[in-house]
Structure 1
Amino acid sequence: MNIKLPTFIELYRQLIATPSISATDAKTDQSNEALINLLANWLETLGFSIEIQPVPETRGKFNLLATLGSGTGGLLLCGHTDTVPFDEGRWTQDPFTLTEKEGKLYGLGTADMKGFFAFIIDALRDIDTSQLTHPLYILATADEETSMAGARLFCR
């Protein structure tokens, strides 16, 4: 397939560059809307239908459910969009800049859990999704690092 998306490293870079910190302190807590919209655009390019759901009683938090295919059953790939707050004194580089050092990638959310979304979007670019016999769902939730409000809303 020849789908026009950024390269894997650029997907990763853009995800890391999009702040989405969850915190109990209102001064530190951030909306994940920009990150949800980024994921929605890429997944829509891959042919997914997109549902964005506001998470009540949060500070501008959203869930995204992307669906490809129809029918019963299927596979759900789920991750969260938020990161923990960070201590600037413990970082040797900008936490919102994906940085390679000695063969490793660093940035806020590289392992937990923005990298997950870069990997699955990049993998889907090379899959012939017309061959799917059951639906594929991708769920991106809000507030996993604090209240689990996004996951709880999805489970209702």
Structure 2
Amino acid sequence: MRWLFLLLIVLNVFYYVWHQQEAPLRAKDVTPLSLYRGSQQDIRLLSEAAGNGRIEEGVARQQCLFLGGFSDEDSIIRLQQRLSAMKVNAQSAPKDAAGSGFWLTVTPEGQRLLGDQQLQNLSKEFNELKHKIMLCEGVAPAE
């Protein structure tokens, strides 16, 4: 049993020495990012492209505020009543418009009445409340 233990120690020492003699791996040369960016510098977000005055197809796309994300319809009705008390025009959004759950669409005119402070107050009042700013008519053009 002692001989087996000594053999394992000798093999470990041999493996350690052999492993240390291998040349350390060199770091791979990294190509600068500026060489890759040459052809991609003209990529812009859709919102940035519209801001430069280039509005595609001559149609101005309006953005609406979507409020909701509730799992039950009762909460969305209470939110709509709360928004009408604040004189904010909100309508029920189609089921698939903003994602899963029940959502309200706030028009751009009503969106001006809702600031960050009002959205925070509504979030405190309605626990599940989420808000998104998306195109009113959707991404795909109507044909």
What TM bracket, shorter-length normalisation?
under 0.3
Task: Give the TM-score, by structure 1 length.
Answer: 0.26
Task: Give the TM-score, by structure 2 length.
Answer: 0.28
Task: Give the number of the structure whose alpha-carbon radius of gyration is greater.
Answer: 2
Higher strand share: 1
Higher helix share: 2
Q: Which has the higher contact order (CA 8 A, sep 6+)?
A: 1
